[in-house]
Amino acid sequence: MRASLSTRISEPDRGWGRHRAIIAALAIATLLVTAGGLRTPAQDATPPAPPAASPATTEPAHQEETAPSATKSHIRVRVEVVNIPVTVLNKRGQMVIDLTKDDFEVYEDGVKQDIRYFNRETQTPLHIGMILDTSNSARRQLEFEKDAATEFAFTILQGRSSKNQIFLQTFDSSSAIIQDFTHDPDLLNEKILELKAGGGKALFDAIYSACRDKMMKSGDPEEARRVLVVISDGIDVQSQHSLDEVISMARHAETIIYTIGNAAYGYTNPGDDLLSEMSAETGGASFFPLRNQPGADMETGYLSHGQIGDTSQNKGLGAETGRYSAERGIQLADALDAISRELDEQYNIGYTPARSALDGTYRVVKVVSARRGVSMRWKPGYFAAAE
């Protein structure tokens, strides 16, 4: 009786214990699956994804989080190349176009540089600014300047790469952009022919603003040659900027200035020296086409500044004859044509500076040729400044 009772009591206890064990096992399995510690058969059938990286060493988690991601890191290598356009002339002023790389040496701040690039008759596009004097003193010359300028624009923009561009600026008491950069010669010529003379004279301000506001914003200077062509008598009476400031700004803008003096023969013009200095200090050239001496009959001569007017003397000297006017126009056109030919036949020398620091300093460049009997013009230097 006691044994039978004991059996009846112990068997249910053992069944409930098994039941609790099963429940506990299921609970533990559920927790392991949820935590990722136990894989289901379906998961086991799928091979595990490869790890993002196979670490050679174990590092703390916080170091992995602060390390730069391989997908976000960028390595940028920039090689600065200095391009120097060089004009070479013989003793007669003619272009020398048969030189090779071995005929040149380049020095930067007195240190010889390794020439890496060399091209004859460079095809680097031109960004040109034409600045015409429309002041009262240029009134008599303006028509000749306009005719010569239209021919120059046509020569630069036709029969060449359309990447060449010209903008037109005038000055009297102030300066104005008449036409922004364009490669359309017809549009440019329309604006040239509409020009009229005004009052005042602020030459230096006009060139300063052209370099600062146009040239410095015309793209990478290594991808285009920046050139200003200025037609004026060089006289300035109203500018806020000095000649030294103009030269400094032109160098900052890496702009070469060509000047054409329009003062007539017989007049001692102090502006000629200013035009010459401006060109020489920026690597350009100055032209004075109206300096030719007068002929015996005075019809072919170029009268002095202030003589061309309605006086009987000037009429008697032939100042109003078609021959005189035609020759003045031809001389101005020839000067612009000489600039065009020079830009067409320049050598281009490129080098990577031995001193690579972009520290904002001005670097003086000197070009030497082994060829005897030649003269050269080149960009005299540049500012080593980061963009």
Mean pLDDT of 269-297: 84
Residue 170 has pLDDT above 60, yes or no: yes
pLDDT digits over 111-127, tens only?
999 999 999 877 789 99
The one-letter amino acid at 244: D
Buried (b) or exposed (e) across 53-63, using 16+ Cβ within 10 A? eeeeeeeeeee
Residue 360 has pLDDT above 60, yes or no: yes
Nearest to 223 by CA among 347, 326, 82: 82
Please name the residue ranges forming H helices in 234-321. 243-252, 271-280, 312-316
* Residues whose CB falls within 8 Å of the CB of residue 344, separated by 6 or more in sequence, listed in order: 121
Residue 35 has pLDDT above 50, yes or no: no
Query: Can you give the pLDDT at residue 184?
Result: 93
The one-letter amino acid at 98: D
d(CA 187, CA 179): 9
pLDDT level of residue 326 (50, 70, 90 thresholds): low
What percent of the chain is predicted at pLDDT more than 90?
54
Residue 337 has pLDDT above 90, yes or no: yes
Least confident of 149-163, 268-282, 363-377: 149-163
Mean pLDDT of 289-295: 66
Query: Can you give the pLDDT at residue 319?
Result: 45
**For the packed helices 271-280 and 243-252, what is the interaxial angle rounded to 10 degrees?**
20
Query: Can you give the pLDDT at residue 387?
Result: 59
Please say whether the beta carbons of 195 and 134 come within 8 A.
yes
Counting Cα atoms < 13 Å in the Cβ hemisphere of 153 gives 27
Least confident of 136-145, 167-176, 211-220, 309-318: 309-318
Query: Can you give the pLDDT at residue 116?
Result: 94
d(CA 155, CA 278): 25
Nearest to 260 by CA among 175, 155, 138: 138
pLDDT level of residue 261 (50, 70, 90 thresholds): very high
d(CA 135, CA 198): 5
Neighbours of 120 (CB within 10 A): 13
Mean pLDDT of 76-82: 60
Residue 66 has pLDDT above 50, yes or no: no
Please say whether the beta carbons of 190 and 148 come within 8 A.
no
Residue 297 has pLDDT above 50, yes or no: no
Least confident of 45-54, 128-137, 178-187: 45-54
Residue 133 has pLDDT above 70, yes or no: yes
pLDDT level of residue 267 (50, 70, 90 thresholds): low
Q: What DSSP string runs through 71-85?
A: TT---------EEEE
Residue 78 has pLDDT above 50, yes or no: no
Residue 284 has pLDDT above 80, yes or no: yes
Residue 179 has pLDDT above 90, yes or no: yes
What percent of the chain is predicted at pLDDT more than 70?
68
Residue 76 has pLDDT above 60, yes or no: no
pLDDT level of residue 80 (50, 70, 90 thresholds): confident
